Chains A and B, each alone.
Chain A
């Protein structure tokens, strides 16, 4: 990458977290790997995308707008994220299926009060198609990833990922993570 331009979260937000072009590119690459990890059924690697101190939840646009705290999935430790994977592998019963994630570009977004100054936020659209064992393929979820990243060492890691699904409806079940 040449150029040293930075991307900030829109004019007048007052928050300093900035992403250099290179950082933004690295975030986009990590997101692509994240999607591929889930879509390729390599869930054991999924927790590695999160920082040691992390938060992950899947909620709906209505609940998010109303500030309702509960999620379809809600994990405030990396251990809970690991437990999702082991439960899916060892305990939960569901019909075999897979996802195909299609992601938009990460857009730098405004920080929130209390954010560590070195942890910028991005927002990324997603569309997830679910492919069932019998071949039937449906749009399963669309929405936004609201992310906060640690960029200090090595590849960017998710300190926070709030998955906001546009619809309040889930068809049948949500087994694999989004």
Chain B
């Protein structure tokens, strides 16, 4: 997928990484120098990072601010109707150009010295450029066209806007591959998303611990006891894991199995493992889960992640995108955007609002993900020389019909090691 670009500074001197993909040394979650290298190689490097929704930029002049990792950027709809993205950094002395999250403007003015930029990101004015009364001002040789904020490459797929600072990154669909692209289309294709809410969750852990959690289908029915406690998995589910060829992208999905197999078999599996008892608890209002077939294919859950740090979820009728932003080695900003669609009936919209209770910082099935990364971050504090074990479902990073596997987590590390240039024997 990628090789280390030649202009990149060398990696800092780092401890060794065990062979294979089954051990993850804990220093990778702790070091400032790793964090800095990630910003450079993953977030400013040859990868596509999610910025925003195209639906948030419907009209010319609409803009929103976002980030490529640490780097603040502005994404806008130009006067010509095209999308533009550029660093949110004045070319003069580096101040933020736009301070609001969203808005509409044909021009941005930096508050510091009133340098102005068009909504397309071109420098259009420099205050007192020609001085006053022939004195002061910029020299003759100053050219505004030489001082634009850095532009991003942009790509839009089914309403999702991705950006990259790197001109060598492959086209977006090639970067994702066909299976992942198809699974994005499955949820978003041919529909017009409507934002139902935006929420930010601050996680007390390294961003990669959250990515591991998203890709970890092994934990889902163990840590998240909401469905099992209330015995909501009445139907046997079929499903599986898709790991993209380079390892970096994944889909975990499950669907109603109408083949008539014994639904109690899976329940017995849980009882055998003493993971839960037969609780007898029931929801007082089970309308929470009175959903509809989201995409007409009986698939009730699809968690999709792309490398390095983006998630598209369909959990029953709760559809959301999650932007994962590292905020230091031990802190992560998780931006949730909950979606409906213009095509929703009022009843469907109500279902989405009810099922939003499943996700986010107060979500019945995702609140645990907010704290478990912190438990790891704190747990490994004195163990930089130790390593996690990832051997569920074998040692490779391949698609599988079983979700009792850590294959997609191994896939992430495969893509990560290759993109970071950390192990010459690993390619993505």
Interface residues of A (CB under 8 A from B): 58-60, 62-63, 68-80, 82-83, 86-87, 90-95, 168-175
Contact = CB atoms under 8 A, between A and B. Distances in A.
Main secondary structure of the interface of B (DSSP, over half): mixed
Interface residues of B, number: 42
A70 B356 contact: yes
Contact of A62 (B198, B203, B225, B352): B198
B341 interface: no
B374 interface: yes
Contact of A70 (B197, B288, B361, B370): B197
8 contacts: A70-B353, A82-B284, A83-B284, A91-B226, A93-B225, A93-B371, A172-B202, A172-B374
B231 to A, nearest CB: 11
A95 B196 contact: no
B371 A172 contact: yes
B226 to A, nearest CB: 5
Nearest to B225: A91
Contacts of B284: 78-80, 82-83, 86
Contacts of A79: 283-285, 287
A87 B197 contact: no
B281 A90 contact: yes
Interface in B191-205: 195-204
Contact of B364 (A58, A68, A92, A169): A92
Contacts of A169: 200-202
B283 to A, nearest CB: 5
Contact of A72 (B202, B223, B360, B368): B360
Contact of A77 (B285, B352, B370): B285
Contacts of A171: 202, 204
Given A83-B288, A87-B226, A91-B226, A170 B357 contact: no
A73 B361 CA distance: 9
Contact of A168 (B199, B279, B338): B199
Contacts of A80: 284-285, 287-288, 354, 357
B200 A87 contact: no
A83 B282 CA distance: 9
B292 interface: no
Contacts of A78: 284-285
A173 B370 contact: yes
Nearest to B279: A90
A170 B281 contact: no
Contacts of A170: 199-202, 361-362
Contact of A87 (B196, B354, B364, B371): B364
Interface in B338-366: 338, 349-350, 352-354, 356-357, 360-362, 364
B225 A71 contact: no
B39 interface: no
Output the residue of B281, B362, B364 with the most chain A CB within 10 A.
B362
Nearest to A177: B362
B267 interface: no
B229 interface: yes
B367 interface: yes
Contacts of A175: 362, 367
Contact of A91 (B199, B230, B371): B230
A92 B204 contact: no
Nearest to B318: A70
Contacts of B361: 72, 170, 172-174
Contacts of A95: 371, 375
B116 to A, nearest CB: 27
Contacts of A87: 226, 229-230, 364
> Which 5 A-B pairs rank lowest in CB-CB distance, beginning with the nearest?
A79-B285, A70-B197, A79-B284, A173-B370, A70-B196
Output the residue of B228, B279, B370 with the most chain A CB within 10 A.
B370
Contacts of A94: 367-368, 371
B368 A93 contact: yes
Output the residue of A74, A75, A86, A173 with the most chain B CB within 10 A.
A173
A139 to B, nearest CB: 13
A72 B285 contact: no
Given A70-B338, A82-B285, A93-B225, A60 B364 contact: no
Nearest to B364: A87
Contacts of B356: 70-71, 74
Nearest to B374: A172
A91 B338 CA distance: 24
B196 A68 contact: yes
Nearest to A174: B362
Interface in B149-202: 195-202
Contacts of A172: 201-204, 361, 370-371, 374
Interface in B397-415: none
Contacts of A83: 283-285, 288
A85 to B, nearest CB: 9
A74 B371 contact: no
Contacts of A69: 196-197, 349, 353
A92 B367 contact: yes
Nearest to A93: B368
A73 B196 contact: no
Given A62-B198, A172-B202, 11 more contacts: A60-B198, A70-B356, A73-B357, A74-B356, A82-B284, A83-B285, A86-B281, A87-B229, A92-B226, A168-B199, A172-B204
